[in-house]
Structure 1
Amino acid sequence: MKKLRFICLAAFAFLYSNTTFSQENAAAAQESEAANYDQGFRLGFGINGGIPTDKDYDWSLGGDVRLQYDLSKRTSVTLTTGFTNLFMKDDVKDLGFIPAKAGFKAFIWEDQFYVLGEVGAGFAVTNGYNDTTLLWAPGIGYANKYIDISVRYEDYDKFNTNQVALRLAYGFDL
């Protein structure tokens, strides 16, 4: 009976220590992977379409270029610019502007789903408009090695509007 207790106790101790070492090895592997992550730049080209949330504009369409620097496997900083046109109702002139935004992207689930926050300025360039507006844009998205799909809310202070926009983009490592 003593031998059976000793064997059970030894088996329990062995299994417990094996599990403990396994968890420590997994944690060490994750730390090593994070420390050895190859930081680098990505470039993406996107098409944007949006629905303004007020009654002054019908819809928006634009294109952008986004430069992204990966700080880690789950965090990146971004710089985005391009051109967006807000289409007006009736015979009023459309508003075209160039956004210039800096942002922070954090992957929150499976290294593919992310949240993004951007802030910057919008420079009006068409149809006699010459205002510059503060703009900010929180968003959520999905990205893999080449495709980036996101939805964002974008607010334009001096243009007296905001929009919900969809971005479809192709990106690659530099």
Structure 2
Amino acid sequence: MKNLQNIRILFIAVFAMLYTTTSTAQQNDEIQNYDQKFKLGFGVSGGIPTDGDDYDWALGGDVRLQYDLSKRTSLTLTTGFTNLFVGDDVPDLGFIPAKAGFKAFVWEDQFYVMGEIGAGFAVTNNYNETSILWAPSIGYAGKHIDISLRYEDYDKFNTNQVALRVAYGFEL
């Protein structure tokens, strides 16, 4: 399982490097003529676990800081709180995710793909694990609304999830 996790992380890193090296030459002019800016978004997400029987569903809130490198690429930092709900007689798991990511708009400057990697710090019910997490996602971003669907994998929490995120964002 650990080797599979390492292969997934390596695959994402190689993909990101290939994407940035092939598009760097095309984006140099765009970056020089683009007014780079920060954006801030507040989101709510609900998820369904896809692996294991430990958790029934997830609910979370987050804050995302986004720095636009160009009209089509951005760097992101995301944190918040997510609770993985468990059935009766078992304590839920609440954790604080801390993720860094790269967002690339691929169609009409509104539809995007994004990859994030970071850690989830358990903070409830005497869970003492910190989990590496990674999350590829696809989404739509308008002027203020951001809707995305993501897969999020946790190596120490014995689960992963598919989650829908709805957020409101604005320029700083």
TM-score, scaled relative to structure 2: 0.81
In structure 1, what is the Cα distance between the partners aligned to 2:128 and 2:143? Answer: 38
Correspondence 1:143 to 2:138 = no
Kindly indicate whether the alpha-carbon contact (under 8 Å) linking 2:30 and 2:71 is maintained by their aligned counterparts in 1.
Answer: no
Separation (CA, whole Å) in 2 of partners of 1:91 and 1:166: 27
Aligned mates of 2:117, 2:41 — CA distance in 1: 18
Identity of aligned residues (%): 81
User: What is the CA deviation profile of residues 23-63 of structure 1, one whole-angstrom value per residue up to 9, with x for unaligned ones?
Assistant: xxxxxxx9866532110100000001000113111100010
Change (3 A) 1:33 1:124: closer
Q: Deviations over 1:9-34 (max 9, x none)?
A: xxxxxxxxxxxxxxxxxxxxx98665
2:90 corresponds to which residue? 92
Q: Say whether 1:35 aligns with 2:32.
A: yes
Residue 41 of structure 2 is aligned to residue 44 of structure 1: yes
Number of positions where the alignment pairs a residue of Structure 1 with one of Structure 2: 145
CA apart distance, 1:160: 1.1
Q: Find the partner of 1:101 among 91, 99, 102.
A: 99
Runs of 4+ in 1 over 2 A off after TM superposition: 30-35
- Can you give the 5+ residue segments of structure 1 that lack an aligned partner in the other structure? 1-29
SS class of match (1:130) = coil
Give the 3-state SS of the residue equivalent to 1:90 in structure 2: coil
Q: What SS does the corresponding residue of 2:56 show, helix, strand or coil?
A: strand
**Counterparts of 1:1-150 in structure 2 under 5 Å?**
35-53=32-50, 54-150=52-148
**CA distance in structure 1 between the aligned counterparts of 2:128 and 2:156, rounded to whole angstroms:** 11
TM-score of the two chains, using structure 1 as the length reference: 0.81
Equivalences for residues 156-167 of structure 1 within 5 A: 156-167=154-165
2:39 partner amino acid: R
